[in-house]
Amino acid sequence: MVGWFSRMVVAMTIRMPRWFVGWVSRRYVAGPKLDDAVKVMKRLANEGACFTIDVLGEEISSMDEADFFLEEYKRVLNAIIENNLDSNLSIKPTAFGILLDREKGMENIETIVGLAKSHDMFVRLDMEDHRVTDDTIQVMLDMHEKGLTNVGVVLQGRLFRSLDDIESITEKIGSAADYRICKGIYLEPESIAYTQRNDIIEATNKCIDAMLDSGAYVGVASHDYPVINHTLKALEERNMGPSKADPRKNAASPRKQKGPGYEFQMLLGVRGPLRRKLCKEGHTTRIYIPYGEKWYEYSIRRLKENPTIGTQVAKAFLLPWTNRP
């Protein structure tokens, strides 16, 4: 019943005028400009949150577009430094041209990761759909081979392959791995991914356990209570938690602006009360801050790719006071 209602809300929303989609998305997108993202982060920093910034746009059609993203992320990096923000970067390899010109795309990514490293800043490679899973993981491994270990990758719990990916990455770089684990926004084919909610949650929780046991840093990106509660229990079982040094013997040295081996991550505008609760309990909480001129395309894509977002849209519209960002 909930799924049907959510899909109906999504179907209605994507047919609404652009201004209406903009009204809905302003909760989840900082705005079209970098200044908008900076303002949002300054406001939410007062709640003890830290951030990762994403310039909207992906799977470009020309390398000229890749040049735009390269220069824009340089501006983002400078804005983080100038405003003394506790933030790292989230980038999509396809936005840097990895599918159009691998050599140039790698050069672009290496430039940003290198600049970030010079300022002790972390870079997260966002994961897109299954077509680029191998490429994205390989980009991360290639950066580590070059000594740029301030970069990590996202894995999606819904994919059958994710546990094998964790094992393979562990074999190659051990506890230097730094993950964001999420259920996955992309509705992948049944042949390669779980499609039922309970199965996806169970698979995601297994990935969290495997990541923690590998000694890696784990960013748990979820708004689902079954995933959050599982993570809290898993941390307790491993004697990990707020204000504790990471006790895992196979863990890497602590990174600047990171939690004690783990953190919780949430999208801007989604389940703010839960995020604030975790933060109040002492857990490192990071907010994903998207901005850019492609806000409309981003909003429509997320709605189409995961219709379950419709319940959040309806709640934001009808009961805004129950889920303050």
The answer to whether 63 and 104 are in contact (CB under 8 A) is yes
Which pLDDT belongs to residue 57?
A: 76
Which pLDDT belongs to residue 1?
A: 44
φ and ψ of 90, to 5 deg: -120, 125
pTM attached to this predicted model: 0.87
Using the structure block, give the residue that is written with the tokens 């993202």. Answer: 37
DSSP for residue 159: B
Sign of CA dihedral 313, 303, 8, 198: negative
Which pLDDT belongs to residue 2?
A: 45
Query: 307: exposed, middle or buried (C-beta count within 10 Å: 0-12, 13-18, 19+)?
Result: buried
Angle of helix 225-237 versus helix 197-213 axis, rounded to 10: 30
Q: Which domains does the chain have, with CATH numbers?
A: 1-29+302-325 (no CATH), 30-291 (3.20.20.220)
What end-to-end distance do the CA atoms of the chain give, in Å?
A: 26
- The amino acid sitting at 107 is E
Q: Whole-angstrom Cα distance, residue 270 to residue 25?
A: 11
Which pLDDT belongs to residue 228?
A: 97
| DSSP secondary structure of 59-95 | S-SSHHHHHHHHHHHHHHHHHHHHTT--EEEEE-GGG
pLDDT tens digits, one per residue of 112-138: 999 999 999 999 999 988 889 999 999
Which pLDDT belongs to residue 321?
A: 46
pLDDT tens digits, one per residue of 160-193: 999 999 999 999 999 999 999 999 877 788 999 9
Q: Which residues contact 117 (CB under 8 A, 6 or more apart)?
A: 148, 150
- Residues (pLDDT < 50) of the chain are 1-2, 318-319, 321-323
Which pLDDT belongs to residue 256?
A: 80
Which pLDDT belongs to residue 29?
A: 85
Q: Whole-angstrom Cα distance, residue 37 to residue 35?
A: 5
Which pLDDT belongs to residue 40?
A: 95
The answer to whether 161 and 120 are in contact (CB under 8 A) is no
